[in-house]
Structure 1
């Protein structure tokens, strides 16, 4: 794979795209961020091709929480109302200890008022399916192991970016690197960057059928451990767990359900009931990696990075997918039809913001994964004290994140870019 390291990250803007009948964009990666970018660019009038390595669009991970910031981005591509209608809205709940003692209680109505909308939860596959359905039937190519061959030159209309695939080479006025945490596109653009590092903990995710009874939505923090429980709109229960362990470990005999029982089986209700309902072999486990040192830019040449490829972050704020969706609509905003491609503007908007969000996620990770008794006692006392002051104080941590608005406030309404 050819390196793009000699391309200028601050190169001049391209000549107007009207030089071609329809500008071409290639999106490497068919996850949530890549598909959102493809849909936004398609609605802006670009000819879009999505290249996904997997044989099908099957997202890794069970659920995704969408805060008001990403919902507003989905409004721009015309999916916000549909996703809200399919999702479960955040209910009463809060933060607990492993024994079920309250540390703080959530106030969904106050959060919705503060940030301009509710937090919603749905299956990742549902969101992926709706995004893909908005694209032309031939836009997505699966089982396509794409590689960036040339980042192109935005100052030279005769030098588009080039991507190689098993089926041949594609040229494009824009390439979007949405190929995840282990992004090969990122490595090609910034070979000197250290890439991702282990965040210090591993995660498990499960889905179980409805439990047949009510329970309180919650996240629970124990010594070096965390558990969260949330229902989908159909009653299916989504649960996730995290533990502070060395990287590369797996459960004895590969039985991750038994590992969860060992670690969380004595925690408060409904955790034991959820673990009893988990089917063998249905537990997802992944070590968490993040980009601790921000990239120098999110673009080079005619190539833009987004999502985990650009700013992989800890999941403790629930903002990884949300930030990828934001990236996508901001990128499309800087790729207006008939105007110069402004990838430098994309970097200026997204790099400082995602760096801030990633840092906050790391801070929450450290707090939630505390293992020593003195630190836990101090943390829990501070959380309880903040709750006594009022729920608004607990929400301040999401100020500047959940209240974000996209630069394009109205939805794109047709493939010609009209709004």
Structure 2
């Protein structure tokens, strides 16, 4: 039996996890990335216990857990600094089997890429689905640029890869999604944009926090290397850019908020702030597959960042896909249907739950904000663990049919990861 072949479009977190998981299953994997280098766009990424257990399947869960830097109390605040709700990493570990770890995306990409054979990732290679494949017919991917193997088709520099499986992890504005489901509504602007940056930790200590203001949010989280990941959102029209730079925009919106916000804004370079509009899937796709091609991550289910689950759900997608794909391509269409059945209801539930919180952060009128503040204050009186309920049924997920590098429920058991 010949080795099955998979092509992954997109070398983001979901695409690299899928490639690593399929490689462990015995697939020959090629990852095609549009960007000229494997340099992840973004800053930090939240990895809840569900994602950590998924990463155990490919042997990097413990390395991610070692990046945990949050100690002591943290929680939700007002712009003046008043605490509304507090929690600790221990509370999350008790409820979900481990704390939420915030890692730098570059660190996670490095861990994932190291699980792949040399030459598996080909950058500077824009790709699109030419044929989703079908029963007895391989899928085909058309690429331009790059220097990878492939049969030349058409003009100079155009190649076509054929594969038993194509994994489309090409993001919110996925061309693969439009090819598989033409006419299906694209993800919609969620009503707010996001800023992100990483700077050295300030001299004065601080507690990890998320702060809710009028139609806006600020978050500050320590990273394991001594730096700080900061993020912010605000309700603004789509497509906007500040004429004098995004750092200046953040100073106008957040410069008088509590410590450490002013110190962090003083530390970031004017060109060091990333800005991006937030989109969400408003209408579920009919399936996450067609023929021998599957959609994964934001290409299938874009969501707001309010539960910190965008990357986590892409990682889940990847290991569930590898679980169903099995070690060969026989009967693959039937097994991809099982992938859709497993993933579509769960991910769309997370999309909806995250969207509800996103709408709550958009409240800006004084009466609405007073009501929101009162609700969180009451919740905090009932105990910090209740504040974690938004992740119930999400962070406690476990991957199917897998052995764990760190043992189930986040226990530190050691040992080698098994194939998914």
TM (norm. structure 1) is 0.92
Partner Cα distance (1:58, 1:265) in 2? 30
Counterpart in 2 of 1:408?
401
1:198-277 equivalent positions in 2, closer than 5 A: 198-253=189-244, 255-277=245-267
Counterpart in 1 of 2:412?
none
**1:414 to partner: Cα distance:** 9.5
Partner Cα distance (1:65, 1:298) in 2? 24
Partner Cα distance (2:297, 2:61) in 1? 19
Match of 2:351 among 352, 355, 358: 358
Counterpart in 2 of 1:147?
128
Task: Decide whether the 8 Å contact of 1:72 with 1:80 is kept in 2.
Answer: yes
Partner Cα distance (2:109, 2:72) in 1? 24
Structure 2, unpaired ranges of 5+: 145-156, 406-414
Task: Decide whether the 8 Å contact of 1:203 with 1:243 is kept in 2.
Answer: yes
Greater mean deviation of Cα atoms: 143-152 or 332-341: 332-341
> Per-residue displacement from partner, 1:85-124 (whole Å, max 9, x unpaired)?
2342464210000000111001321211110111111100
Match of 1:391 among 380, 384, 396: 384
**1:210 to partner: Cα distance:** 2.2
Match of 2:371 among 373, 378, 390: 378
Partner Cα distance (1:227, 1:98) in 2? 9
Partner Cα distance (2:393, 2:315) in 1? 16
Number of residue equivalences: 395
Counterpart in 2 of 1:162?
140
**Structure 1 residues 256, 144: CA separation in 2 closer, same or farther (over 3 Å shift)?**
same
Counterpart in 2 of 1:10?
none
Tell me the SS of whatever aligns to 1:98.
coil
Tell me the SS of whatever aligns to 2:396.
coil
**1:213 to partner: Cα distance:** 2.9
What RMSD over aligned residues (CA atoms) do the two structures have, in Å? Answer: 1.6
Task: Decide whether the 8 Å contact of 1:147 with 1:165 is kept in 2.
Answer: yes
Partner Cα distance (2:206, 2:108) in 1? 25
**1:147 to partner: Cα distance:** 1.3
Counterpart in 1 of 2:306?
316
Partner Cα distance (1:414, 1:340) in 2? 29
Partner Cα distance (1:24, 1:73) in 2? 22
Match of 1:190 among 181, 189, 194: 181
Counterpart in 2 of 1:331?
321
Task: Decide whether the 8 Å contact of 1:90 with 1:120 is kept in 2.
Answer: no
**1:353 to partner: Cα distance:** 0.3
Partner Cα distance (1:238, 1:179) in 2? 25
Task: Decide whether the 8 Å contact of 1:76 with 1:408 is kept in 2.
Answer: no
Counterpart in 2 of 1:75?
56
Partner Cα distance (2:230, 2:212) in 1? 14
Match of 1:94 among 42, 61, 75: 75
> Per-residue displacement from partner, 1:197-217 (whole Å, max 9, x unpaired)?
100001111111121231111
> Per-residue displacement from partner, 1:121-160 (whole Å, max 9, x unpaired)?
110000001101110101110000111110111x22xx10
Structure 1, unpaired ranges of 5+: 1-17
Task: Decide whether the 8 Å contact of 1:90 with 1:118 is kept in 2.
Answer: no
Greater mean deviation of Cα atoms: 297-306 or 162-171: 162-171
Runs of 4+ with deviation above 4 angstroms: 411-415
Partner Cα distance (1:405, 1:349) in 2? 13
Counterpart in 2 of 1:303?
293
Counterpart in 2 of 1:289?
279
Q: Does 1:137 align with 2:141?
A: no
**1:340 to partner: Cα distance:** 3.0
Task: Decide whether the 8 Å contact of 2:53 with 2:404 is kept in 1.
Answer: no
Partner Cα distance (1:411, 1:113) in 2? 19
Partner Cα distance (2:404, 2:291) in 1? 28
Partner Cα distance (1:88, 1:306) in 2? 29
Counterpart in 2 of 1:53?
34
**Structure 1 residues 35, 418: CA separation in 2 closer, same or farther (over 3 Å shift)?**
closer
Q: Does 1:121 align with 2:113?
A: no
Partner Cα distance (1:233, 1:144) in 2? 33
Partner Cα distance (1:370, 1:152) in 2? 46
**1:355 to partner: Cα distance:** 0.5
Partner Cα distance (1:198, 1:248) in 2? 10
